[in-house]
Structure 1
């Protein structure tokens, strides 16, 4: 069968769960992964065909997509900030909004790359996308990353190797910590002070579950997604308290946040005496990132 003919069937088969543009993006992601062909290759060679064996493989993937299993989990990888990351059911799939957070941090420190040895801590690292992207783009930084899930950390460690960076990964429950500097690692103690602390913690309230797409709700780890409605800022408050103790002079605190709680986050940081508090919107126009300086 011609690939372009199968493409039409593929998109039609997914019409009940996603729009044509998203189905088409799935098709080309899989095409590049399974056959090393891009959209332009198919346009220039419209007579390319799938073998019967290939059609069987694609049909199996299609059936899983119909069950709304994320295409990134089916392929076992995704791209984030120009790097490739392994993803699986133990970690969230990195989002474009988080790339914006990483970009904000990198641009805020570009002028200091050569003059300062940065100490960075990523809290709730998941796949390691934030920590690894920072380590890759800020080569003078020493990056540490914490997560409560051992399985997530195993994935993050693979991603550090995949992207040829060194990150110290630590298994710990952030809510139980009193001081980052006293947390032992398998290599050496954490620094007493960090120049940057960043976190994309769980922030979706249970009342917002109805807004979450089925492919996320049924497949991505709830541990990394949800917080109780009556204590939605639990992680932010705890991390900010620790940052007060463990950020260096003029140290920076960056968060990805719930789009509905921007004002609450500003109030939280200002009431805890953080300076230069700034709220930024993401590419979709939602309040998504906040910054404060100790």
Structure 2
């Protein structure tokens, strides 16, 4: 895109912005990028531009927009460029140390919340839940649960100190209390306390599936939070399930987001570990994406 010496009408810039991105993104996605940036950088919405077509960008603004455009051409995620995203109706800061929260994970949060509502309705005397989120990243799951179940005590673990720094900022941003713990779950022998809900969206993409991953994800999002070895793709699930056998309360529930290709393997794993009421659910795209289960009666546990 040419570097314009003077101001330029925003509508004209919008047309060129979208044209320059359509070789990489479809026009609808490119347009959505434009309006996301417009709202963040100039506090204008689509309707504002429609009602005031005479609005201009200054020369300085064009420089900023051109810089963002060049980064989008390199397929750097728009969320990282803006430094923020939305998840379950809340705002979250994001950066290269955390995964960008996905809509599928919102479905997992919604499942947990709907389960909690059923418990509360059937037993109004139930006290606040104790919840643990393992591999919290940006904190999106833990913070969304804390926000929507204000009586709960929420804990969150991650191996990355940088991720936890971001998660802490997000807890402050959303005005919730979450206890964040820097811990390698694969090296953990005991969680030290009992939890009513343990949830995890751990690394689950096998190296053999890398070719299915979009370039903007593969080149920018943290591999530590994405990938597992092909020969032991369920390593995190097995370890977390073992800990849940010791640290899940009598009527507690375990929730996972999973690899869409490993639904049957997950059911087999949990059955062999004597978990009960195993339920596999599909996401909005029709893929096996989340699973829940209960521990057996405490007297029968290992």
TM-score norm. by structure 2 comes to 0.92
1:204 deviates by 0.3
Which residue of 145, 153, 156 corresponds with 1:142?
153
Structure 1 vs Structure 2 CA RMSD: 1.0
Looking at structure 2, the residues matched to 206 and 66 of structure 1 have their Cα atoms a distance apart, in angstroms, of 26
Question: What pairs with 1:1-294 in structure 2 (closer than 5 Å)?
Answer: 1-112=8-119, 115-181=126-192, 192-294=193-295
What is the DSSP-based 3-state SS (H/G/I as helix, E as strand, rest coil) of the residue aligned with 1:292?
strand
1:112 deviates by 4.3
What is the DSSP-based 3-state SS (H/G/I as helix, E as strand, rest coil) of the residue aligned with 1:140?
coil
Looking at structure 2, the residues matched to 100 and 91 of structure 1 have their Cα atoms a distance apart, in angstroms, of 19
The more displaced of 266-275 and 57-66 is 266-275
Aligned length: 284
Unaligned runs of 5+ in 1: 182-191
1:7 deviates by 1.1
Looking at structure 1, the residues matched to 103 and 17 of structure 2 have their Cα atoms a distance apart, in angstroms, of 25
Deviations 1:70-128 (CA, angstroms, capped at 9, x unpaired): 11111111110011001001000000000000011011102445632100000000000
Looking at structure 1, the residues matched to 134 and 107 of structure 2 have their Cα atoms a distance apart, in angstroms, of 17
Unaligned runs of 5+ in 2: 1-7, 296-302
Max radius of gyration: which structure? 2
Deviations 1:124-170 (CA, angstroms, capped at 9, x unpaired): 00000000000000011000000000000000000000100000000
1:5 deviates by 1.4
1:51 deviates by 1.4
Looking at structure 2, the residues matched to 60 and 200 of structure 1 have their Cα atoms a distance apart, in angstroms, of 34
Looking at structure 2, the residues matched to 101 and 123 of structure 1 have their Cα atoms a distance apart, in angstroms, of 14
Deviations 1:190-239 (CA, angstroms, capped at 9, x unpaired): xx210000000000000000011111101000000000001000000000
1:45 deviates by 2.1
Looking at structure 1, the residues matched to 283 and 56 of structure 2 have their Cα atoms a distance apart, in angstroms, of 40
Looking at structure 1, the residues matched to 24 and 111 of structure 2 have their Cα atoms a distance apart, in angstroms, of 34
TM-score norm. by structure 1 comes to 0.95
